[in-house]
Amino acid sequence: MTDRRPHPSRRSVLVAGGVGVTAIGLSGVHLATATSEGAVGATPSTDVLPLVKETTEGPYYLDYDKHRVDITEGRRGTPLEVRIRILNAKDGKPVPEASVDIWQCDALGIYSGYEETSEAMNEGELVFEGPIPKLPPDSRTTFLRGFQMTDHDGWVRFRTVFPGWYTGRTVHIHVKVHTRGVLLDRAYAEGVTVHTGQVYFPEDLTDAVSKVRPYTLNDLPRTTNDTDPFYSGDTAADGLLTVVWDRGDATRACLFDRLTS
């Protein structure tokens, strides 16, 4: 029988790969941009930075205290490094000691903590009319979830795999940012959520990755960016990532973003 007990969490008062993830914005804080001529570590612009749109957290968010860089837990897929920088939207300065939380599905469209639920929804066995409610977890698995604290320059880094897809959604990674809290015994406590969003991948990259294992084992229909209900446009402010990747071998697509404002 599946253990349905949730993981304990010390987080309180919360409202709730190689790729560089930049140009994600949030309310009052901006995730990682520099000038188009800039590079990692460049002095941020003093102009007010554009904010990336808020997006629903979806039904699969879990407030787990998984403070780690590598979130794969052995999940197979094209290696992906996610680098996120948090900048203050008003003055462009880095925001240190913010908690950045990411979660995603695996190559077959399954979320940890919700393996039975996400599989049932993907197969059409579980259907909701109207908005999907917040669902209780059905397992104790934690793959492809984790958080990191931003360093002095506002950066965090995660090692993961390229996400798969599931019924009704384009390929994406979820992001939450928390501030005004503290890292205590490897858990983030007494913070507030300042951004909830999603980031997306260019269609040509997703199409290439979908042709290699283990993604070829995912027989669910793939929703494209332009037919996704939450994808809003092909700009950084919409959450679309600008990446450089190995077009000759999608099994080892190390993705590096070009920082753009």
What pTM was estimated for this model as a whole? 0.81
What is the residue-level pLDDT of the chain in tens, covering all 261 positions? Answer: 333 333 433 332 222 222 322 323 333 344 433 222 232 333 334 345 566 788 889 999 998 889 999 999 999 999 888 888 888 877 788 899 999 999 999 999 999 999 999 999 999 898 887 777 888 999 999 999 999 999 999 888 899 999 999 999 999 999 999 998 889 888 888 888 988 999 899 999 999 999 999 999 999 999 999 999 999 998 878 888 777 677 888 887 655 443 332
* Cα→Cα distances 179→97, 146, 204, 214, 243, Å: 7, 16, 35, 36, 27
SS (H, E, C) 39-78: CCCCCCCCCCCCCCCCCCCCCCCCCCCCECCECCCCCCCC
Report, in angstroms and rounded to the nearest whole number, the Rg of the chain calculated over CA atoms: 17
What's the order of all strands across the beta sheet hosting 99-103? 145-149, 99-103, 172-179, 192-200
The amino acid occupying position 86 is I
Q: For residue 248, how many C-alpha atoms fall within 13 Å in the half-sphere facing its CB?
A: 0
